[in-house]
Amino acid sequence: MKLLRYGPAGAEKPGMLDEAGKLRDLSAHVPDFTGAMLNDASLAKLRALDPESLPLVEGAPRLGPCVGNIGKFMCIGLNYSDHAEESGMAIPKHPNLFFKANSAIVGPNDDVVMPRGSTHTDWELELGVVIGKAAKYVSKAEALDYVAGYCICNDVSERHFQNNLTGQWTKGKSCDTYGPTGPWLVTRDEVPDLQNLSMSLDVNGERRQAGNTSTMIFTVAEIIEHLSHLFTLHPGDVISTGTPPGVGMGMKPEPVYLKKGDVMELRIEGLGEQRQRVGEDA
């Protein structure tokens, strides 16, 4: 299934895409797509519905983040070997974890608004993993059983804030609007070959990132295993699993960063597309 949330920010309704790509309303069957609604039993009930029987949503409403009230927003840094190389950093021995503030989370096509003083805002296309049931001390072999589904994340990053303001990366990762998520939550049964998904990001129509999840240093299952041995992963938590090469910081001969009016377009095979226009705070 392709599940989504649509409508004004803070008042999104649950929906799904039917086989024809039409938006169907699920409000009569589920209050929202939050952690409590992402377990296998709840998803099975939705899967049993006939999409043709659901109300058709007319027009092209705004899409919100595909999960509401996200718990932890965890990010894995340097998880593609060629991205680590372009960043001039060593290959990590364990998944490199940082957190993005939940206040950064916006819909997949909402504007990305650079904060005052930003000069080094960068793009990062990533595969997002949405946890469906509590995971503690799980093995790699069983890790994917704890996943509700997958989505696209844009781990937008202010590199000066990240690298020069002292402390953890969180400062450069958590600016308002720096966490576009969606458009859909694609349930895990529809992603049979998770570690072989093509992915790309364009800025103003020019290809910047092109990669494949097959080149991850740590697979999704290995990441879940590792994190679940540190703390409990809860339903509705999101893990953004790292970015392939082609970020602005790594461009040669000089880095290239986003500016007002730029447009980012992101795609991951089977998971849909995002599109964000860049603005700036007054």
Q: pLDDT tens across 61-120, in order?
A: 999 999 999 999 999 999 998 777 777 778 899 999 999 999 999 999 999 999 999 999
**Domain around 214:** 65-280
pTM of this structure: 0.96
Is 227 within the bounds of a domain? yes
What's the domain count of the chain? 1
Is 83 within the bounds of a domain? yes
Question: Which pLDDT score, from 0 to 100, does residue 168 have?
Answer: 82
Question: Which pLDDT score, from 0 to 100, does residue 91 have?
Answer: 86
Is 7 within the bounds of a domain? no
Is 23 within the bounds of a domain? no
Q: Is the dihedral of CA 74, 78, 82, 88 positive or negative?
A: positive
Is 155 within the bounds of a domain? yes
Q: How confident is the model at residue 169 (pLDDT cuts 50, 70, 90)?
A: confident
Is 210 within the bounds of a domain? yes
Around Cβ 50, how many Cβ atoms within 10 Å?
Answer: 8
The CATH number for 117's domain is 3.90.850.10
Is 82 within the bounds of a domain? yes
Is 53 within the bounds of a domain? no
Please tell me the distance from the alpha carbon of residue 241 to that of residue 97, in angstroms, as a whole number.
Answer: 10
Q: How far is CA 51 from the centre of its chain?
A: 26
> Is residue 166 scored above 90 in pLDDT?
no
